[in-house]
Amino acid sequence: MCGRYASSRKPEDLVEEFEVVDNRLAAPLAPDYNVAPTKEVYAVVQRPPSSESDEPAQRQLRALRWGLVPSWAKDPAIGNRMINARMETVADKPAFKRPFAKRRCLLPADGYFEWYPTQVTGKNGKPLKQPFFIRPADGGVLAMAGLYEIWRDPTRSEDDPARFLWTCTVLTTQAEDAVGHIHDRMPLMVERDRRAAWLDPTTSDRDQLLELLVPAAPGQLEAYPVATLVNNVRNNGPELLEPLPVEESLV
């Protein structure tokens, strides 16, 4: 599962990193060191200029809400449960099958958080969990594989600019050995040379798409313990990413 991550890059840096040609942001998002479900997040998508145009699809930077709402949903609250899509079933699940075929995206991140249950017991008798921050070892941007969907709000009029809700989900897979001891799932990353193929809306072959998704290569990610401040989503600052001294860690 990927339920929290950090995203502090500036839009102009993401435009350069992902070769975006159409910045669709109304305003930049504030740096977020504790991204949680239902928040607005950066997403890179590839969209045709219009349904009638013969122009090729353009790579765009947009702000989407984390938690995918299927186009057929009656209640957008379903998105609260759709923050992750498992690679093993994404091509078959009703909520993800259509966006997997047509609406794939990249979700830029500095890294993501996972919690490791320790042998230290809390007041409730349950093991305390030590949060870890997992990021690219080279300090680069983590390009998480994602899906997006566009939900039409039936309660809004045709001329209401807010009638369409854009949402997204993070694809996950079995964790590689270096971080698998922390949690058994991890977000899928899209390598630089595979980004164009992953975003291409004209590609819909199931097997071809699944072949683009591979776990992080050994040594590509690093993980270190951080303070339990991240447990509370109201805490949000660069201090959440600071490595915790060994003597203060629960593990």
Q: Which residues neighbour 182 within 8 Å (Cβ) at sequence distance 6 or greater?
A: 114, 115, 116, 132, 134, 175, 223
- pLDDT score of 201 more than 70: yes
How big is the chain, counted in residues?
Answer: 251
d(CA 166, CA 72): 13
Q: Where are the domains of the chain?
A: 5-112+139-220
Query: Among 186, 37, 21, 30, which Cα is nearest to 111's?
Result: 186
Query: Among 183, 178, 186, 26, which Cα is nearest to 109's?
Result: 186
Q: For residue 6, what pLDDT is reported? A: 98
3-class secondary-structure state, position 94: helix
- pLDDT score of 203 more than 70: yes
Distances (CA, A) of 120 to 130, 184, 241: 10, 20, 23
pTM of the model: 0.93
The topology (CATH level 3) of 5-112+139-220 is hypothetical protein yedk fold (3.90.1680)
Q: For residue 43, what pLDDT is reported? A: 98
- pLDDT score of 176 more than 90: no
Contact 134, 49 (CB under 8 A): no
Q: For residue 42, what pLDDT is reported? A: 98
The residues annotated as belonging to the active site are 2, 114
